[in-house]
Chains A and B, each alone.
Chain A
């Protein structure tokens, strides 16, 4: 099983293929997705008579048919898989058709107009950090790139000088966040990027003789290999700066396929050349293949796909080598041996254990066994290693069990998905490739609609709910709503029942899927479950359910959302309907009113008219008329009062008018008196004031006369009116003119407790002798008043 070499390589059989291929893989387009993905097979069109439609088959890695359908479109140049396991079929006319795993057509796009005439001569599908890309070369030797098929931007690369027809070989490189094309035209190498085409000379001395026939880029875009027709193999870094090696393989007939096969933990990088007829070629070893096969580059090896079986060729991981190497004395190997002896109840177990312990290597031994178990494909080997590890663990006190537990857990998941009925041959290294939030196999299971297993895996791996289970459920619901046949009620009940309490479920997403597949009613029902109104409203508007959108927006309490709907509805409906709609939604109405107040006064009037809101209509007219008048003349504005005062003496006739107007009712009369006496005092026209006071009996009493005089600090004038003040107010009048004695007399006369008190409080502030006398007098009066 293990072959001697500088490094050890092994070929593990993954599956006996269960497919039935009529003509093997010969003359077929075969595409297998990385990470143990599905396989698509299609007969090459030129091998068929034009009348026969080729069959497109999709299989799992174990050869179980997932979909099969006759190809009805144009001739296909290349098949490939996107990162989310969609099948891309590049047609000769530059159209790329996308299918899902079940063979359902998803969408299509074109690689440009000029391709329709010139035809695609070769196409490559590649994966980059930006997603899945497509690169084509046309019959007129022009390259076109699309770096991400989900966000399609076509880039036509510049012309290559001197290139006639197809290049002899080419590859897509990913450098410095740029996608470039490396191509060979006979012995010349060119590097194409967005703007220019540069000629490249390989570093590292002697130019290779011969014509380049193969270019291979490693899975991580780090390494590059070139193969010439003279059998020379050049390897180096993909930045074309450093050479790693140059070998003469002595192979004269060029291989059919060349694939990188890299183990990053070792400094040596090995390209593997595989050909249908030739043995696998390694720099130091040739690996014979019995059958024509297709090879698929993986992160940590190469998968060999032949009509009868599916194998994995990989470098033997160091730990495994250490344990299983013939006559290995590594601690792991000893521990495994010790455990074997222990099971046979042989005392040798103790000897082995002692040996490890003497070296103080027991911890390492356990670790090795655990790690090696992770890399093994067969369950019995895994079990043996793990048992050995757990046996060794017993003799250790402070070993962290974490690694052991996690490997056990991962292996359980891996073994579950490797089962031929599922057919995802992931290795332990591939399980967590690049800090993806969910492990690869869960995604794979979801794409295959194996939801129960995916959920089990998530729960088993303790993936956080909103990342794991919720996503799976959402995916399930999305595919569920696209199924026909079930009634809306049943569907909604089914979905909501399943999704009820999972966090982070976006019902609006599911609803939009339902709407896309033409089930509007179902979408509306689903939206009812959406907690965030912000998500409901846009979709409702898209579905032209503006009334519903409006009430949802209002329920959300987000005025921006309400406003969005209102402005949408405004353009959508005729005015009458629009107003009626608003009428039923007070929140929206008030929002719109406020908007109109600032923007469209006229609309406001119509709105009030429609509502029969007479109060608001009246207010509207009042303020509107003021607006006009203020502009015309400011006579009636807020400064009205000042105007009256200022103009008071200007015209006698005006005064008469005021009098005429103001005599109508008592309160007018009062105001007239107030106005007049204040104005007179303001102008210090004391004679006029006195005349005025005598003109008629004052309706406001005479205290105001005292007060206005005192406001101007005219005590003399004020005194004139004190006597006229009614007895009830006389105390106050006296106090106003600061005549305490007068006030005291008035108070005593009235025998009012409260008033005497007020006067006392005024007296107490000073301490002259006359004051004190007054105080005594008041006190006496108070007691008499009290007695009464």
Chain B
């Protein structure tokens, strides 16, 4: 048996003999190397959003009740807390629940995403009031923008004149020093599955906003059709507005379509932050730890970002290292506490006033993360999980595929988690360039029998995206190519929807993996404590394709030399120099600040990989994403059994 089975197995070995902290962790306390540039200050974005919101609220003077879309609750909390809202005469806060309302206020304000469902609900509310002879003032605030479709619904329902509408241009929420999120999880499904391009312009706006605040950018690279469209939309907006020459704080920009790399988000995450997300689900930079973690009977909401000193040191670490680090940290803490034993009164006084508070804080955080690690350990060091990881790694490597299929079948037959099974199927299809027709049919049948036939549309969705497909037999392939060929000849060739282009889309993962060396040679032991490349985020089994592409493009300063790779990825790559001419040395610092924008979401593992890359190469990455995603979220977005 080849050693790959042993080296990547996720054992608890790390914690038992890992009393001394892993080497990589020691310099992490001062993790910013001398040559990594400083990050621009993104809290400005928050201030802008808050000011605009307050302005909008004051447009409706007097006391009012505020209704908020459920998924806007957490982002709003990060921008303006309840007391700020109260200051601006918001009386009560309600969640939009699509039920009749109970508010008694005569002014209602709705803060919603531009969704038809919400607008229809508001129409119902207004019409119910009308029927009851109640007079109220209504104000709809759409964020980040309003769509004509929404206004159309208002018009159809005959209440266009009864409400006022506004836009809250809340495009960007800085989740952390280097992560900015659009908080638009529906971007993925809307664009990639439904072929609805309504958010493309929003992406363009985001670029425009960042450009006007932190630009100009010196170079823009991108891959994927959405990226290209977003780029064009941005250019259009730049040309319309006036340009001012000044020093930018951001060097290059890299735009990345999620559909270029589905493999990476489909893998189980084993870096601490990713794992926390997979298990507890981080929502808007905040996680709710249940009683099993807090070792009390209450659950606790915790912000996870660089402010949390303990978390900041372990977030990017492979999970096997985390426990060792935490225990070492605990020991250090104890020593710090113990210091006070030999102290006289005066020293104790300074100790209490200066250090104790910090120590207490650290203590609290430490116990929390230890609790979380333990809880994760319980779940993840089980035999099953290790088998799962082993299968994933085999799939990535293209090894023992039959065995993997058996494993997946067993997984399905045992009716383990529905999402997990689907994820494995997807990973199989993605890495194997589609399933054999025979396999596809049998596994689909087994899946549907195990989890219900209502998943049938989900399979259609996955097929449409090219995530879970049947290998075409010779005959159907030519038929399909004819169809696509015919479409390409059309005048609107460039504007084909993804629905059609994905018919021709093939995953060439195997070829890509060879060309980009995504799966490291398996004959040497991979020391997870001293990572040597980005593969560490997947236990040394796989370098994420997305991050590898970014690395390669930055290294080559463009796509030259990657022609074969982009051909395999279905082209659509572009590189353009920005509007500012780089003037040499003076700005070399900002040149190494790179903004990466993921259209369709990115995972914490990818962020960790980019942070690692940044440290290695002296770059500083700023991640802008439509939403933080992971395998479960990705698949849930494509489920269609809810109808």
A residues near B, CB below 8 A? 532, 551, 554-555, 557-561, 563-564, 567, 584-587, 589-591, 593-595, 598-599, 615-616, 618-619, 622-624, 626-627, 636-638, 640-641, 667-668, 670-671, 674-675, 678, 700, 704, 732, 735-736, 752-754, 757, 761, 764-765
Contact = CB atoms under 8 A, between A and B. Distances in A.
B495 A586 contact: yes
A302 to B, nearest CB: 43
Nearest to A757: B6
A598 B116 contact: yes
A585 B5 CA distance: 51
Contacts of B200: 557, 559
A638 B641 contact: yes
B413 A667 contact: yes
B497 A586 contact: yes
Given A567-B152, A587-B495, A638 B413 contact: no
A667 B196 CA distance: 40
A319 B490 CA distance: 74
Given A619-B640, A761-B13, A558 B201 contact: yes
Nearest to A533: B236
A671 B643 CA distance: 27
B117 A598 contact: yes
A619 B454 CA distance: 10
Given A623-B640, A667-B413, 4 more contacts: A584-B492, A622-B456, A636-B454, A667-B445
B557 to A, nearest CB: 28
Contacts of A567: 152
A252 B575 CA distance: 86
Interface in B151-203: 152-153, 190, 194-198, 200-201
Contact of A622 (B196, B240, B454): B454
Contact of A587 (B195, B445, B450, B460): B195
Contacts of B410: 670, 700
Given A599-B116, A622-B453, A674 B415 contact: yes
A671 B448 CA distance: 12
Nearest to A623: B643
A638 B642 CA distance: 9
B362 interface: no
B383 A736 contact: yes
27 contacts: A557-B197, A557-B232, A558-B201, A559-B196, A560-B147, A585-B492, A586-B497, A587-B195, A591-B196, A591-B197, A594-B190, A599-B116, A616-B460, A618-B456, A618-B460, A619-B460, A623-B643, A626-B454, A670-B410, A671-B415, A674-B415, A735-B383, A754-B6, A761-B13, A764-B13, A765-B13, A765-B16
Nearest to B146: A560
Interface in B457-495: 457, 460, 490, 492, 495
Nearest to B409: A667
A597 to B, nearest CB: 9
Contacts of B229: 557
B451 A641 contact: yes
A559 B147 contact: yes
Nearest to A736: B383
A590 B492 CA distance: 15
Nearest to B153: A599
Contacts of A584: 490, 492
Contacts of B152: 563, 567
Contacts of B328: none
A641 B452 CA distance: 8
A561 B149 CA distance: 10
B452 A554 contact: no
Contacts of B120: 598
B454 A637 contact: yes
Given A586-B497, A598-B117, A675-B415, A557 B233 contact: yes
A640 B452 contact: yes
B496 interface: yes
Interface residues of B, number: 55
B121 to A, nearest CB: 12
Interface in B315-336: none
B499 A586 contact: yes
Minimum-distance CB pairs A-B, first 3:
A623-B643, A590-B195, A559-B198
B413 A671 contact: yes
B147 A626 contact: no
Interface in B398-419: 409-410, 413-415
Nearest to B151: A560
B439 to A, nearest CB: 12
A603 to B, nearest CB: 14
B446 A671 contact: yes
A750 B120 CA distance: 68
B127 to A, nearest CB: 16
B500 interface: yes
Given A627-B643, A754-B1, A587 B413 contact: no
A667 B411 CA distance: 12
A196 to B, nearest CB: 32
Contacts of A591: 196-198
B165 to A, nearest CB: 13
B11 interface: yes
B194 A593 contact: yes
B194 to A, nearest CB: 5
B148 A615 contact: no
B454 A678 contact: no
Nearest to A677: B414
A764 B152 CA distance: 69
A588 B479 CA distance: 25
Contact of A559 (B197, B414, B495): B197
A114 to B, nearest CB: 33
A678 B495 contact: no
Contacts of B105: none
A170 to B, nearest CB: 42
Contacts of B117: 598
B492 A554 contact: yes
A586 B116 contact: no
B384 to A, nearest CB: 9
Contacts of A754: 1, 5-6
Nearest to B6: A757
A668 B120 CA distance: 45
B347 interface: no
Given A586-B496, A587-B195, A678 B414 contact: yes
B316 to A, nearest CB: 26
B449 interface: yes
B413 A563 contact: no
Nearest to A559: B198
Contacts of B409: 667
Contacts of A765: 12-13, 16
B149 A595 contact: yes
Contacts of A555: 495
